Amino acid sequence: MFGGRLSQGQMIAAVGAVVLLVAEFLPWIGAAGHTDNVWKGSTLDIYLLITAVVALLPALLALTDAAEEFSFVSAATFLLGVVGVILIIAFLTVDFPDVPGVDSKYGCWLGLAASAVIAYGGFRAMQEEVAGEI
């Protein structure tokens, strides 16, 4: 439907954003048979939501036939994706390893992978924008 108007990097970032949105509602941490998603277990939730929305912005604009000249979106997507990867790694290595009985669940690993995909998509979209200007 709008695939022809999005660059490959924008499509990659949009797929990563959808996966990240789903991952936010999956279990991220667990202890003694009880699990919590990122919305209950940390303050990382809003940052990841903003990251996903920014990564989805080009696809949403293409759906509404809005102007596509938002060159800052690719750079912002890349930066937010990289910071998301760093924050999730910090979440995994700093916040919970010392707490007995608390372990990471598959949601945090899926979120980490999705953030990396968003960062890659943003980087690729930036390269495609530069190549299009030449």
Interval 74-107: pLDDT, tens:
889 999 999 999 999 988 887 666 667 778 889 9
What is the reported pLDDT for 119?
Answer: 96
Assign residue 99 a region: left if phi > 0, alpha if psi is -120 to 50, beta otherwise?
beta
pLDDT bracket for residue 25 (50, 70, 90) = very high
* Distance from C-alpha of 118 to C-alpha of 101, rounded to nearest angstrom: 31
DSSP state at residue 94: I
What's the mean pLDDT in 9-36?
89
pLDDT at 115: 97
